[in-house]
Structure 1
Amino acid sequence: MIRTGRAPNLDHAAGIAAFFGERIEFLVAEPAEALDRVLQQIHRDLLECAVERQDQDLARLRGTGTVAGVDPELGVVAYAARALADVPEDTAQPLIALIASVARRAQEDRAREARAARD
């Protein structure tokens, strides 16, 4: 194919696509569409990693009864978003916003109590 400059036949194209772990459509799709499909898969993989971390944190939390082992970067909002993953977007977003608001208020209350205790 390189020497002749001819396009691969379907069998060769299928082999090339399989080598790269893609479907044959990847080779004939518009570049933006092909890139979008690849990036969507990368996004799904990253979400699966985050979900896995959250599940491990939740299992640790259930086992110990304390939040010491929970990743603080994920926060309650991330856990809520994970729990609401199967809920329609228009329902989940207001719930996540409400949880974020409650978490923010609780954090502000704890900070206010800590300042009062110091004073």
Structure 2
Amino acid sequence: MIPADSVNRYQFQHSKLVRLTGCHSPGPVMFFRSAFIGLGLFVLLCGVTFFLTDRVLLDMAPGFAESLPIWDAVSTPAEGGLREISLPAWAPFALMAAGCLTVLYSLPLRSKQS
């Protein structure tokens, strides 16, 4: 008979009840694998999206672009108080390559703890 307080430590394997030892949670490897796959797919889809766009127009609150100096480096002022981001021709290729390599890197990571 299995004690009621230790039911979580037993599992059926091949029609036999086997006592589990140690931690059998997915662990950090599954987290990193999922995170790398998600990050790689996001970057890959951003690269595909940038194949379809020539420029991005941003409508910001007045004074927001002046408060962050990074906006002067990545965007230029456009008509009507908008900010324009124009990507170089190589950016979609670089993003798609980085996304594919990240997904391919994550595939050989162990899917289950042994």
The answer to whether TM tops 0.5 is no
Larger Rg: 2
* Structure showing the higher helix proportion among its residues: 1
| Higher-RCO chain (CA-CA 8 Å, sequence separation at least 6) | 2
User: So what's the TM-score if we normalise by structure 2?
Assistant: 0.35
Structure 1-normalised TM-score? 0.34
